[in-house]
């Protein structure tokens, strides 16, 4: 079997819809399209004027959502390639840097490194649904997802010396029906891979994955 690979740029985000893979890179204001099976370029590039530093990309209801560091989220139609600066988190009284995105059933979850917090938006009207403030020692958030059982799983790097080199999952707090689980990991840098696995393990009690111990309290 022959596998072809293509050097594009420093890739910041990838998402797939049908047979097409959509890729955003660190610098240009473009979205590159590839065949998801052969990885070959489709010869189509979506130009998004005004997008400066795309940092992540997800797809929902045939709409692409792109995190544009630091404050913006763009929405792009996969059908006619029309686009709009869909949401801005820039404020004179509040700081929320858009870092990564995940989407679940018309709910867009936005992860911010500064401050360490999450915001969840309705993809239909852009309404802010929920704000999750996190402890200050979680200074290096990488990614977060909402699981099928209604919890948030958050991948983060090392925080205070108290948490250094610990590999654990723990419940941070409960608010109504909201449960937040934190992952502190080391020696393994593929956060999105871990989180994809966690979504499939929501009914498990204890799972060992490399040196990461998952324990639901």
pLDDT at 79: 97
pLDDT digits (tens, 9 = 90+) for 53-101: 999 999 999 999 999 988 999 999 999 999 999 999 988 888 889 999 9
pLDDT at 22: 97
**Residue 140 in contact with residue 156, Cβ under 8 Å?**
yes
Domains in the chain and their CATH numbers?
7-105 (2.120.10.30), 134-217 (no CATH)
Residue 7's pLDDT band, with cuts at 50, 70 and 90, is low
30/28 Cα distance (integer angstroms) = 5
Q: Is the pLDDT of residue 127 over 90?
A: yes
pLDDT digits (tens, 9 = 90+) for 163-193: 444 433 433 444 433 444 444 444 344 445 5
In the chain, what percentage of residues exceed pLDDT 70?
66
Tell me what the pLDDT averaged over the chain comes to. Answer: 75
More confident site: 205 or 130: 130
Residue 105's pLDDT band, with cuts at 50, 70 and 90, is confident
Contacts of residue 162, defined as CB under 8 A and 6 or more positions apart, other chains included, come to 137
**What is the H or E stretch that residue 131 is in?**
strand 128-133
pLDDT at 154: 83
Distance set, CA 110 to CA 42, 56, 64, 73, 212 (Å): 29, 10, 14, 10, 24
Rg of the chain over Cα atoms, rounded to whole angstroms, equals 18
pTM, entire model: 0.74
Half-sphere exposure of 29 (CA within 13 A, CB side): 10
More confident site: 142 or 48: 48
């Amino acid at each position: 079997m022959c596998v072809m690979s293509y050097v594009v740029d420093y890739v910041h985000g990838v998402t797939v819809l049908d047979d097409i893979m959509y890729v955003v890179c660190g610098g240009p204001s473009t979205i590159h399209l590839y065949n998801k099976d052969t990885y070959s370029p489709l010869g189509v590039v979506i130009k998004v004027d005004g997008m400066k530093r795309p940092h992540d990309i997800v797809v929902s209801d045939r709409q692409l959502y792109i995190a544009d560091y630091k404050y913006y989220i763009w929405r792009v139609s996969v059908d006619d390639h029309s686009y709009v600066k869909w949401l801005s988190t820039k404020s004179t009284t509040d700081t929320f840097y858009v870092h990564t995105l995940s989407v679940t059933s018309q709910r867009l979850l936005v992860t911010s490194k500064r401050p360490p917090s999450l915001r969840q938006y309705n993809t239909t009207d852009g309404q802010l649904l929920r704000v999750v403030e996190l402890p200050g020692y979680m200074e290096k958030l990488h990614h977060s997802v909402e699981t099928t059982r209604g919890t948030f799983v958050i991948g983060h790097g090392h925080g205070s010396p108290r948490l250094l080199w610990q590999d654990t999952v723990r419940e941070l707090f409960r608010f109504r029906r909201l449960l937040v689980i934190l992952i502190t990991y080391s020696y393994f840098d593929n956060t999105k891979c871990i989180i994809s696995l966690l979504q499939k393990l929501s009914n498990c009690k204890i799972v060992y994955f490399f040196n990461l111990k998952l324990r639901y309290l």
